[in-house]
Amino acid sequence: MNKVDLAFTPALEQARLIRNKEVSPLELVELYLERIQNLDTQLGSYFTVMADLALADAKAKTEQLSRSDTSDLPPFFGVPISIKDLNPVVDVPCSYGSPVLRNQVAIYDDGVVTRIRRGGFIILGKTATSELGSFPYTEPPGFPPARNPWNLDYTPGGSSGGAAASLAAGLCAIAQGSDGGGSIRGPAFCCGLVGIKPSRGRVSYAPIGDRQNGIASNGPIARTVADAAALLDVMSGYITGDPYWLPDPNPSFLAAASLRPDRLRIAFSTEISPVGEASPLCQQPVLETVKLLEEMGHAVEPGCPDFNGLVEPFKIVWQAGVAAAGIPKEALGPMNAWLADRICDAGEYLRAVGQMQAIARQIVAFFDNVDVLVLPVYMHPTIRVGEWADLSPEETLPKLVHWVAPCPPFNASGQPSIAIPTGFDANGLPLGIQLVGRPAAEATIISLAAQIEAAKPWIQHRPAFGL
């Protein structure tokens, strides 16, 4: 296998090659570090490359491989992964996308990082995020913008934009991201990848905890549904003191990816209240998928929850996250500084939480008679890097709300959702859909996504950048 093919090989297949001793962890790490050095100056997908730490870990794992029974190894032993720069990795800078924090070295591993290490992964570096993870593009002040490897003039999305860009360009085997309003699903959509926002309580936020009423979750970004499912298995699980949690899946999410789903009741919509219809380019993948699902024997009909009334309380909870960061307003970019100026009092915040929870109940109730909902990921295709940079915050906010509208409702309700690619637009940029499941029903949407993937494979597609 040549180096380019190896770089784009799915993570589970890389793990198999390592176990069979057809490739070593050191070979893989050296390959990705070489690609990062050669390509990432144009892409901007990494804030910090952990070359020395990754090489030391790879050498140790390669030595262990030479003298160990491979049957006892963790599932992703020796596979290189990237970690989003909102998640601390001990002894490595964690900037949260803020230049004033770029040299702040973490003194602990985030809980999800600990689980990733236990899964056998080797961490290559920390990927670019928007400032404080606030935005659906990755252009934080003081850092180069992250770019989309399918077309460098366009964004890879945000806030897990660096994670998606690094994976799509073949600069890691798989990526960790987080999603508080579409920040996994949006970058997966922009970069032609699979991204899962898990159910609330599926992945721990230890040791710090969750500050935004459960709207955000860590999750996987991957080349295939099986890779994403297997990484979710690694990430999942209760850690002592979590404010909410779910039982471990049975069978595993990876097993669910190989199970053919029963005949499902599926709803779909290309309209998101209160913002209206998605653009024709984002409607088309939904309608094509609906036709495919009908051919597969699923029961499909139009329908969607009513999201009216959600935007304002969600915005209050979202902007409170900016205030909770504790960074002086003067050190923030214009958009976050403007949001910080709009800090609400405790009573307003709690009223917003109550309103959001009431609407979330209505959203979940829709699924009493529906197994899966098919929606656009975003309302229109990927935007250019800097497309909104000259707008005022007052002008930018409604554009943000409109673009990402299909995603935040399920952060509010805590339901699982998976974004999968379906094709390309005229600019060569990926398009896709999201599948939303009932609470704690990741297995259902993973099985259905795998069924769609098998019918319309996309793993053969690679951006020209990086080849």
Alpha-carbon span 115 to 440, nearest angstrom: 20
| Angstrom distance (rounded) from CA 271 to CA 257 | 29
Task: Please state, in angstroms and rounded to a whole number, the distance separating the CA atoms of residues 303 and 368.
Answer: 13
Q: Number of C-alpha atoms within 13 angstroms, CB side, residue 251?
A: 11
Structure tokens at 2: 């040549």
Q: Specify whether the CB–CB gap between 245 and 278 falls below 8 A.
A: no
Beta strands in 105-256 (DSSP E): 122-127, 174-179, 194-197, 217-222
Per the annotation, the verdict on 98 as an active-site residue is: no
Contacts of 168 (CB under 8 A, 6+ apart): 148, 149, 150, 156, 191, 192, 193, 463
Active-site annotation holder among 82, 98, 183, 217 = 183
Indicate if 258 belongs to the active site: no
Rounded-to-integer distance, Cα 190 and Cα 155, Å: 8
Residue tagged active-site, from 61, 82, 84, 417: 84
CA 174 – CA 82 distance, rounded (Å): 7
- Cα–Cα distances in angstroms (integers) from residue 436 to residues 70, 82, 205, 364, 414, in the given order: 37, 26, 22, 11, 11
Contact present, 65 and 21 (Cβ < 8 Å): yes
Cα–Cα distance between 219 and 377 in angstroms, integer?
A: 16
Catalytic residue among 98, 159, 178, 236: 159
Residue appearing with tokens 């995603």? 407
In the annotation, is 84 catalytic? yes
Which residues are known to be catalytic? 84, 159, 183
